[in-house]
Amino acid sequence: MGSGQSKPTLSTAATISAAPASPIQADATTNTSDVAVKAPESSGGCPVKLADGSYPSMSGFTSFFRHPPIDKKPEATTSATAAATKDTTSESPKQSSRPVQGPSRSKALSLFSRSGPGPGGDTTTKPQQYDVYSRPLKMDPTNNMPLANPDNLARNALPSKEQTVSLPTERVSSTIPKGGTDGETWTYPSPQMFWNSLARKGKLGDTKEEDMETVVAIHNNMNEGTWTKVLEWEEVIGEGAPKLSRFMGRPHDLSPKAFIKHHLLSHPLPFDRHDWTVVRPSGQEVRYVIDYYHDTALEKDDTSVEDLQIGRGGKVNSLLVDVRPAVDGPSELWARMVSMPLAIRGCASIVDCILGGGEGKEKKSEFEPLPMMPSDTLKQSMEESKRIWESIQKSAKEIVEEGKVCDSNEMEATITEADAKKMAESYATILKNCQDVKTQLKNCGSDAECNKAFMGMTICAGKVLCPLQHKSFAETLEGVGGGKELDEMATAKINIAFQNLGECVAGCDQKAGAAKKQYPHLFEKIVGK
């Protein structure tokens, strides 16, 4: 796809389904830091000393160095430690949340009209804003705006512990109006946010950082195309100017229509499912069910990444989308069985369609439904769609915990002698370059001293083991500068950057411990331990 880019494949589609479900606006759930953090005191000082003089306990070495005493005092807990237990994906700019009022449109029930049954009486609602998991955002009662979350903002902009190559943090706006706001649209995730989402869910697989440009472009284009289909439905059954209120990814749930298509009509399985809820001007909400399919035979006809940018009108031909209102009531059932079929033919009513020989004189809807029966090319994706579905179901049963310790036997099986040699050489470099902090760690006499020395060793080792995370942490500190009183955002960035560095070092240390167990002769020869 374009220069240096590959065509989207079903594995790429599966990667998209594991990431943010749709246009993503950052989560504004309250999680503000209440811990003051000091800037570096000196080249040998602790870079994140707490206001009470204590130091945070962080992940680091366990295989080669004595772990310091754990400070169990409540006041020594940092926001970084608390943030590690929270599910964070998003941020939210300031947005208006004024009530949208107005009567809902009533439609007369007529078996000869495509209008069908209406929603009933008038409604008056106050629109709510939601995060990417359809959770209501906490609002500031003084101005009806979402409360900012510094930890989430910081986490989204920083490289994860698994990352080795830096990624862009710039985000682009969609064309999809955001419910609960005046004139604002949903914002798509940056490549860095998308990577962090996959990493947090344990869904990276064989995805590489260089894949993110393609993945994000396809993700954004999929959602733009989905919204176009929603608007085509709303033009027939809605009341004009809908907004996307909230959405939810449901890749593990097979919709009734997808079930029938697959089990009765031999149609490939979808690689993803979304539920989007739109809000109409009257305040009425309508849920749409969306199934995404992949036609591998059409990959050769796919466009370039450049053509997928917002506003370019690009389309991934191999990705097919099936959009329809959920049957949550009689009006939605009527819309699917009568209203849209008549609109596609330009008929005002069933009688009009019969008299016109199946064609009416009104303007025809541009909506093109996916056929129930699979095309000849789509049939070729059947076996691959089954493999993807089985993988999705398997992942649904797995419990992915942040900081989860890998099985040692499984880890050892993945370590080659060449990898073990590189690890041993890295640790030899660390022992040579980090003698001072190693001595401090060995001779520390209190929890505070040991935590300080332990952090120093983690930072020193991180320069060798986790250069990207170390660079991110150093740049974060440099951006803060010395002697300044830190605000919540600066505090969050330091805490998260150090947490990512510590977890990366801890992961490398754990793997090195398994390598040392498997290849003791290498470590004895190179490291001397």
Chain segment 195-231, per-residue pLDDT in tens? 988 888 777 878 899 989 888 999 999 999 999 999 9
pLDDT band at 131 (very low <50, low <70, confident <90, very high): low
In 3D, which of 236, 90, 79 has the Cα closest to residue 171? Answer: 90
pLDDT at 132: 52
Rounded mean pLDDT, 56-83: 40
Do 301 and 317 touch, CB atoms closer than 8 A?
A: yes
The answer to whether residue 2 scores a pLDDT higher than 50 is no
Tally of residues, the chain? 529
Instruction: Output the six-digit token pair for 19.
Output: 């990431």
Question: Structure pTM?
Answer: 0.68
Q: Report the SS3 class of residue 59.
A: coil
In a domain, 15, yes or no: no
Q: Are strands 123-125 and 100-102 parallel, antiparallel or unpaired?
A: antiparallel
Do 288 and 233 touch, CB atoms closer than 8 A?
A: yes
pLDDT at 320: 93
Higher pLDDT pick, 451 / 374: 374
In a domain, 159, yes or no: no
Percentage of the chain surpassing pLDDT 90? Answer: 34
Segments in 184-272 forming alpha helices (H): 191-200, 212-237, 256-265
Do 509 and 527 touch, CB atoms closer than 8 A?
A: no
Number of domains in the chain: 1
The type of residue at 123 is T
pLDDT at 322: 96
The answer to whether residue 445 scores a pLDDT higher than 50 is yes
pLDDT at 371: 93
The answer to whether residue 493 scores a pLDDT higher than 90 is no
pLDDT at 398: 61
Do 209 and 216 touch, CB atoms closer than 8 A?
A: no
Distance between CA 510 and CA 154 in Å, rounded? 26
pLDDT band at 45 (very low <50, low <70, confident <90, very high): very low
In a domain, 11, yes or no: no
pLDDT at 183: 87
* Burial class of residue 359 in the structure, from the number of CB atoms within 10 Å of its CB (0-12 exposed, 13-18 middle, 19+ buried): exposed
Distance between CA 402 and CA 86 in Å, rounded? 9
In a domain, 138, yes or no: yes
In a domain, 486, yes or no: no
Rounded mean pLDDT, 61-81: 39
pLDDT in tens, 331-370: 999 999 999 999 999 999 999 999 999 999 999 999 999 9
Higher pLDDT pick, 314 / 65: 314
Higher pLDDT pick, 249 / 115: 249
Higher pLDDT pick, 490 / 195: 195
pLDDT at 485: 57
Distance between CA 452 and CA 54 in Å, rounded? 8
pLDDT band at 409 (very low <50, low <70, confident <90, very high): low
Which residues constitute the domain of residue 252?
A: 93-147+166-187+213-395
pLDDT at 106: 35
The answer to whether residue 118 scores a pLDDT higher than 60 is no
Provide the mean pLDDT of the chain: 75
pLDDT at 264: 95
Instruction: Output the six-digit token pair for 499.
Output: 């947490």
pLDDT band at 328 (very low <50, low <70, confident <90, very high): very high
pLDDT at 410: 53
Higher pLDDT pick, 329 / 412: 329
The answer to whether residue 25 scores a pLDDT higher than 60 is no
Q: Which helix (H) or strand (E) holds 63?
A: none
pLDDT band at 513 (very low <50, low <70, confident <90, very high): confident
Rounded mean pLDDT, 520-528: 87
The owner of tokens 């001293």 is 449
Distance between CA 259 and CA 252 in Å, rounded? 12
DSSP 462-482: HHHH-HHHHHHHHHHHHHH-T
pLDDT band at 503 (very low <50, low <70, confident <90, very high): confident
* Burial class of residue 309 in the structure, from the number of CB atoms within 10 Å of its CB (0-12 exposed, 13-18 middle, 19+ buried): middle
pLDDT at 385: 92
In a domain, 123, yes or no: yes
The answer to whether residue 284 scores a pLDDT higher than 80 is yes
pLDDT at 83: 33
In 3D, which of 417, 418, 395 has the Cα closest to residue 205? Answer: 395
pLDDT at 347: 95
The owner of tokens 């009486």 is 121
Of 311-315, 377-381, 462-466, 481-485, minimum mean pLDDT range: 481-485
pLDDT in tens, 233-255: 999 999 989 999 998 888 889 99
Which residues are within 8 A (CB) of 410 and not within 5 positions of it... i.e. 6 or more apart?
A: none
Cα 190 to the chain's mean position, in Å?
10
Distance between CA 209 and CA 206 in Å, rounded? 10
